[in-house]
Amino acid sequence: KQEVTQIPAALSVPEGENLVLNCSFTDSAIYNLQWFRQDPGKGLTSLLLIQSSQREQTSGRLNASLDKSSGRSTLYIAASQPGDSATYLCAVWGGGSNYKLTFGKGTLLTVNP
Amino acid sequence: GAGVSQSPSNKVTEKGKDVELRCDPISGHTALYWYRQRLGQGLEFLIYFQGNSAPDKSGLPSDRFSAERTGESVSTLTIQRTQQEDSAVYLCASSGFNEQFFGPGTRLTVL
């Protein structure tokens, strides 16, 4: 059974700081990995999707890496802004769960002005 | 076209009542998923529909939960005889190929 762990559970940083969110998964036979953002009371917004054959994806100030063999992914946020404050969720597709996404519990990020 | 939509956005009900939650997927998406997010917990898979195949109901927590989907369109998640532990945000997602797109969710509160 696939399990996804995210560290840290919560993070508070001053505006402008670069930061890294971590995600690990137990079964490396995944199809892809997605990072989502969730704002309070809102649904999920997909940030980056990394296929199993890829090692990283970039979108603006966000960069996600994937090391499938070690079961790890990181989300790097450059020059953080207060608007980045949200919960960031990592989810893997596959790895014993076939077509279902298995989610971590998320990292609650607060960027202080 | 538009993204995944869900209704209602909020639902407050009394323990023991039945509720129906609706999901409209992105047009053309053959796959549809329901997930549940309880307070302080990660998202839990509930049920998966793919085209006209039999749905995967392995994530439904009890026989009080059921879901239907007509073809490749709207889906309804029904919870009978609601309990307080059913309080959660219920999220629907649809997929065309290799990425799932989520709706805004329905926040269910059982008093």
**φ, ψ at B42 (rounded to 5°):** -80, 175
pLDDT at B8 > cutoff 90: yes
The residue type of A96 is: G
- How far is the C-alpha of A53 from the C-alpha of A51, rounded, in Å? 5
The whole-angstrom distance between B104's CA and the closest CA on chain A is 4
Chain Cα centroid distance, residue A72: 10
B45:A36 CB<8 A? no
> Distance of CA A32 to CAs A80, A104, B74, B101, Å?
26, 14, 26, 14
The shortest CB-CB distance from B102 to any of A41, A43, A93 is to A43
Q: Which of A100, A107, A108 best probes binding to B when mutated, by most B CB atoms within 10 angstroms?
A: A100
For residues A4 and A21, the answer to whether their CB atoms sit within 8 Å is no
Q: Between A and B, how many residue pairs show a Cβ–Cβ distance under 8 A? A: 58
Q: In chain A, which residues have pLDDT < 70?
A: 95-98
- How far is the C-alpha of B7 from the C-alpha of B103, rounded, in Å? 10
Kindly report, residue by residue over B75-110, the tens digit of the pLDDT.
999 999 999 999 999 999 998 777 889 999 999 999
Higher-pLDDT residue of B6, B2: B6
The whole-angstrom distance between B70's CA and the closest CA on chain A is 20
B48 bridge partner residues: B33, B56
- How far is the C-alpha of A96 from the C-alpha of A31, rounded, in Å? 10
* Degrees, nearest 5: CA angle B1-B4-B9: 130
In SS3 terms, B26-59 reads as CCCCCEEEEEEECCCCCEEEEEEEECCCCCECCC
B59:A51 CB<8 A? no
Q: Which two tokens stand for residue A45?
A: 């917004």
The whole-angstrom distance between B53's CA and the closest CA on chain A is 14
Kindly report, residue by residue over B28-58, the tens digit of the pLDDT.
898 999 999 998 788 899 999 988 888 889 8
Identify the three-state secondary structure at position A1: coil
